[in-house]
Amino acid sequence: MLTDVRQNELDLAEERLFTGLFGSTTLDAKAQWLLKFLGIDINDLIQNFEGVVKPLMDDDDGLVNAELARSLVSTKSPLLSNIIPTYNFRLVDVSDGVVELLKGLLNGRI
């Protein structure tokens, strides 16, 4: 059976993001209500994100091609391209960083 390394990396990053933010990969009723109230369809966000990121990932190790990601992002958001690493990276590392950043914002540390 052939394994899709890129999809595995995407799934792991998603799992770490949800677990870090909500304590579980399954959203509780409060989180679901909040997302619905804000008009956020989490499944659409995930599908759109995967559609954009998956082509930037290497088939062998699932790393995101940083040079390609930076060049694509720089046309729309030069500031954002400056925070993308200059080396190929794992999405799970980005997920962990996003969780820490959001927790810091919510706790008033940033």
Q: For the chain, how far is it from start to end, CA to CA, in angstroms?
A: 46
pLDDT of residue 3: 63
Sign of the alpha-carbon torsion through 83, 93, 99, 48: positive
Q: What is the pLDDT of residues 43-88, one digit of tens each?
A: 898 999 899 899 999 988 899 999 999 888 888 888 778 888 889 9
- pLDDT-derived band at 110, boundaries 50, 70, 90: low
pLDDT of residue 1: 45
User: Alpha-carbon distance 37 to 86, whole Å?
Assistant: 37
Question: Average of pLDDT values for 20-42?
Answer: 88
The more confidently predicted of residues 79 and 37 is 37
